[in-house]
Amino acid sequence: MACVAVISLMRTIELEILRPQPRPILQQKELIPCNKVLIQSLHEKLGFLIELLDENRMDGIQAIKDLETKLRDVAFRVEYEIEFQIAKLYEDEEEEIGIADLFVEAEETLDLGDIEAEDKEFRVADLYVENTQGEKSWPSCKLGRILEKAIEDIDAIKEELAKVKHVIALQRRETTLDAFTERDEEVIMLGNSSEHASHSEEIMVGKNNEFQIVKKMLTEHSSRQREIVSIIGMGGIGKTTLAKRVYEDQSIVSYFDKRAWVVASQHHNKRQMLTGFLKSMGYENSGTEEELAEKLYRYLLHQRYFVVIDDIWSDEAWNVVKACFPDNSNHSRVLLTTRFAKVPTRIGSSNDFSHQMQLLDESESWNLFHEKTCKSYDVEFEAIVRPVVKKLKGLALAIVVVAGLFSKLNTLDAWKNIAETLNSFATTSIDEECSRILSSSYNHLPYKLKACFLYLSIFPEDKEIHVRILKKLWAAEGLIKEFESMSIDAIAEKHIQELKVRNLILVSQASSSCGGKIKAFRIHDLLHSFCVREAKKDNLLHVVYENGCSSPPKDFRWVSIQSNNLSRHTSYSIFRNCRSIFSFSPIGTYLNLKFCSLLRVLYNIEYKIANLVHLRCLFSNGSHKNMLKPFRAWNLQIFSSDRRLGEIGILEFPQLQHFNCYYIAGDFPIFFHQNLKSISWIGPDQCTRELFANIPNVKKRIKYVMNPNNHIGRLENLKKLVVCDFPFGWKAVNSLSKLPKLEVLKLLRCICIDEEEWKLSKNEKFEQLVYLKIDAIYLKCWEASAYHFPNLECLILSCEKLEKIPANFAEISNLKSIKLIGCLTSAVASAKQILEEQHDEGNDDMIVIEKYTIEPYSSDEDGEIEDEEDEDEEIEYEEDEDESDDDESASARLVRSWSPLPLQPPPSLLSPPPPPHSPATTPLHHHHHRQDEKN
């Protein structure tokens, strides 16, 4: 309950007060010196209290919950008071408003929600206190009172916690855990069981009979009409996992000409469904709804197609897209997954094409639990947990979540305690049991991980969550921070791995390099609904849905806008005290943020200029002509925009880590500090020696640089380099071998003017390079050896004129894969020869993958070559996350040199998910089509 509030308050104290370089206005007003002891004391007490609660996580004990609620309210109140004071300092300084007016306005603005009456003693009259000279003084007294009251409240909570622990200890000596465990109110889940088709790590235990049944409906039934096949079952039973297994089955792939996958979800959106269908098939997906529908119809016409609509809640979701699916009388099939039996009937799915999923039997349940915990059990452990698994009644999601909980426990006593707690739930239905399981798993999360998990509630149901975005948001909200030798990215990735191990997230994209690091994931709908429920209960979240929304609470911190028609039913005044606003509308959201002075995160918002004193993170598609004021957003960490900026002058943002904008007019501002990790969209005249000298610690990227080797030698920490849309010579590429830490090099859509040969000398050696991708039009001959790339692991080539790969690459001992996209048959043959020699030397794991192979002097049918692996590189808001940027494993990059062609703004962060199928990774994979039967 208190996890987000306390962690956020601690981070605010660190950012605003405890850091060596606080805001200039705080230094001018001398708020800090005389309160430093109180500040440090409060910070230490908060940290100690979190540790106490973390060590005593107890499932369902009401007394502990009550204390957490009190702690939450105190933390929210104190953080509000501190941030409110800072915002008013700026307003008072700039607007020079009178004291009387200040009192009135602050009284109107201050809203502490449902906090106890005795805690509402904060009065604006106390903002000014007379000093010994009888003058009004803002700085010390008010802040001191806030801190003293906070410390008093924290001490009281700590004393109560000690008493509760003592009582619990006595009770444990007298009775079993279930004698005093108080039950939560029932959790009624509103989500569904939509695990997306790209969940690469889903385990399908049992269900082979059901797999065969559905498969026969799709391929063996005599009906030539377009038929609707339905998989029906309760949330968490495994409908999508079964659909995914069918979708990816090789015989299904061969039988159908076209396949498409989309998630409808409870709050379906026609445009998103259409773009999802097109993207899953690899087609361009821009245009109006009418244009998208026409494209989809045209691509499916005269084709035998297989379409999956996952997680459909109503016949309306089908009705808005059904006209896009022609009936060609050639065995086309549409597969629906739903938890509502009436939906297939209303849509027109007959009994011959309907399958009701069954719960796992006892043997299958145990096998699934065993697979997910990845542990071997002796007789004692098995005796403890088997009754728990049996009690889950074969519901796959519940079994998987319980397995994740037990997988973190290593002692017999710990297993006994959890088993006793779970067995104490006197539930009467499977839904009720699943709700209990999710609550128990959540309650046993460490405090910091619990806060990060709750934050997932801001994303729409079934939304693919990109790790590169999420970790920035976590950091901006204050939920994670650098710790000792670990960077923010490293800590975020550790948290994500923890959630994965506990089976609370479903991996949808993993990196092809760097050990398969998670790039994107989804959260099961039941878990998402649980997240939303808990976040709302803690006064954290308000969601604005497409079809209207419930009345917002009096006070909340996060707004998730999932509507295209916000202005029709929502008042801007509800955002007054929120900290973060997220828009997931495909058409963007415009807001007037005049009174939202406490905002710290804006995501995909177009806005009227506001007093953004506390802004830490901006992902925006709006205008920012006057946004970057040098003394206001002192704690700005991320600035990302797809719009042009006017001249913004010389600024200073000491916490800035990521700067990304489409284009800046005039001289580039010198406001960067050693915290900067990435910077983007720099014009040719702005790429100066002075700029590079000011960013020595960049570990991620610089985008659109005119000449990458002019000053790049200054970036000795650079580990990842991507150059795109840039005409250059191969000598410039050779000079990059001087970068001592370079691990990843990508040359995308590059034109080597007047040079068809890439030749390396003895002194040009890429010592640390492990990943090399080349997309070059005119490269014909490549002279190199294992000496030049001694540690290369992954080679990707998209070079339509390249005749062959250097034969000596067969001597690179670490080589794991070669992928050729749109290359000549001779280049493919040379790769196969390298593969053969590698296998002869014992490197049996190496593979070769080819796609769109061309004969000499021929070209791809559409004149374009698509590389599925690099779809995320087209997202210009933030860096590709193949690698983390902690010092041990980071692969920084210099990205996208200046294009001589007219530039288009980058696509939105809110692009639809990638295709649900990943590129083939089997040796010598060939794209093939079935031989259609024309009888």
Residue 912 has pLDDT above 80, yes or no: no
Residue 298 has pLDDT above 80, yes or no: yes
Tell me what the mean pLDDT of segment 566-576 comes to: 62
Pairwise CA distance, residues 451 & 498, whole Å: 13
Name the more confident of 128 and 439. 439
Identify the burial level of 51 via C-beta atoms within 10 angstroms of its C-beta, where 0-12 means exposed, 13-18 middle and 19 or more buried: exposed
Q: Helical H runs in 424-486? A: 430-443, 447-454, 467-477
Pairwise CA distance, residues 443 & 405, whole Å: 10
What are the distances in angstroms from CA 598 to CA 622, 664, 721? 19, 27, 37
Tell me what the mean pLDDT of segment 895-906 comes to: 30
> Can you give 613-634 as a three-state secondary structure string?
CCCCEEEECCCCCCCCCCCCCC
**SS3 state at 561:** strand
pLDDT at site 424: 67
pTM comes to 0.69
The encoded tokens of residue 745 equal: 């090099």
Question: Which of 322-326, 368-372, 868-872 shows the lowest mean pLDDT across its residues?
Answer: 868-872
Instruction: Give percent of the chain with pLDDT exceeding 90.
Output: 29
pLDDT at site 926: 36
Residues 595, 598, 602, 607, Cα dihedral to 10°: 20
pLDDT band at 53; cut points 50, 70, 90: confident
Residue 63 has pLDDT above 60, yes or no: yes
Tell me what the mean pLDDT of segment 864-887 comes to: 36
Residues 499, 504, 509, 511, Cα dihedral to 10°: 20
Pairwise CA distance, residues 280 & 263, whole Å: 11
Say if residues 924 and 846 touch (Cβ distance below 8 Å): no
Mean of the per-residue pLDDT values of the chain:
76
User: What DSSP character marks residue 899?
Assistant: P
Residue 222 has pLDDT above 80, yes or no: yes
What are the distances in angstroms from CA 544 to CA 270, 465, 547, 548, 554? 18, 19, 9, 7, 15
Longest dimension (CA), the chain: 101
Pairwise CA distance, residues 682 & 703, whole Å: 6
pLDDT band at 765; cut points 50, 70, 90: very high
Identify the burial level of 923 via C-beta atoms within 10 angstroms of its C-beta, where 0-12 means exposed, 13-18 middle and 19 or more buried: middle
pLDDT at site 793: 93
**SS3 state at 592:** strand
Residue 658 has pLDDT above 90, yes or no: no
Pairwise CA distance, residues 840 & 500, whole Å: 38
Say if residues 557 and 535 touch (Cβ distance below 8 Å): no
Pairwise CA distance, residues 503 & 548, whole Å: 32
Exposed e or buried b for every residue in 359-384, given b needs 16+ CB within 10 A?
A: bbeeebbbbbbbebbeeebeeebeeb
Residue 57 has pLDDT above 70, yes or no: no
Query: Where are the strands (E) in 635-763, listed by range?
Result: 638-641, 644-645, 658-660, 663-664, 678-680, 701-702, 720-724, 727-728, 744-752, 757-759
pLDDT at site 342: 87
In 3-state terms, the chain is what percent helix, strand and coil (to 5)?
40, 15, 45
Residue 899 has pLDDT above 80, yes or no: no
User: Which among 321, 361, 314, 320 is positioned nearest to 341, based on CA atoms?
Assistant: 314
Question: Which of 445-459, 632-646, 675-689, 785-799 shows the lowest mean pLDDT across its residues?
Answer: 675-689
775 residue type, one letter: D
Pairwise CA distance, residues 112 & 116, whole Å: 9
Say if residues 829 and 816 touch (Cβ distance below 8 Å): no
pLDDT at site 827: 95
Name the more confident of 768 and 406. 768
Instruction: Give percent of the chain with pLDDT exceeding 70.
Output: 70
pLDDT at site 131: 45
Tell me what the mean pLDDT of segment 631-650 comes to: 70
622 residue type, one letter: G
Residue 193 has pLDDT above 80, yes or no: no
- Is residue 311 left, alpha or beta, with left meaning phi > 0 and alpha meaning psi from -120 to 50? left
Residue 477 has pLDDT above 80, yes or no: yes
pLDDT band at 610; cut points 50, 70, 90: low
pLDDT band at 97; cut points 50, 70, 90: very low
Other CB atoms within 10 Å distance of the CB of residue 166: 10
Residue 491 has pLDDT above 50, yes or no: yes
Pairwise CA distance, residues 478 & 500, whole Å: 22
Tell me what the mean pLDDT of segment 197-219 comes to: 70
Tell me what the mean pLDDT of segment 781-794 comes to: 94
Tell me what the mean pLDDT of segment 715-738 comes to: 78
Residue 317 has pLDDT above 50, yes or no: yes
Other CB atoms within 10 Å distance of the CB of residue 864: 10
Pairwise CA distance, residues 602 & 617, whole Å: 6
Tell me what the mean pLDDT of segment 60-69 comes to: 81
Angle at 10 between CA 9 and CA 11, to 5 degrees: 90
pLDDT at site 388: 83
The encoded tokens of residue 272 equal: 């998103």
The encoded tokens of residue 547 equal: 């079809």
pLDDT at site 188: 26
Residue 573 has pLDDT above 90, yes or no: no
Question: Which of 294-308, 656-670, 874-888 shows the lowest mean pLDDT across its residues?
Answer: 874-888
Pairwise CA distance, residues 466 & 461, whole Å: 14
Pairwise CA distance, residues 230 & 341, whole Å: 9
Which positions ≥6 away from 124 have C-beta within 8 Å?
102, 103, 106, 107, 110
Give the chain's end-to-end CA distance (angstroms, integer): 65
Tell me what the mean pLDDT of segment 335-344 comes to: 90
Residue 672 has pLDDT above 90, yes or no: no
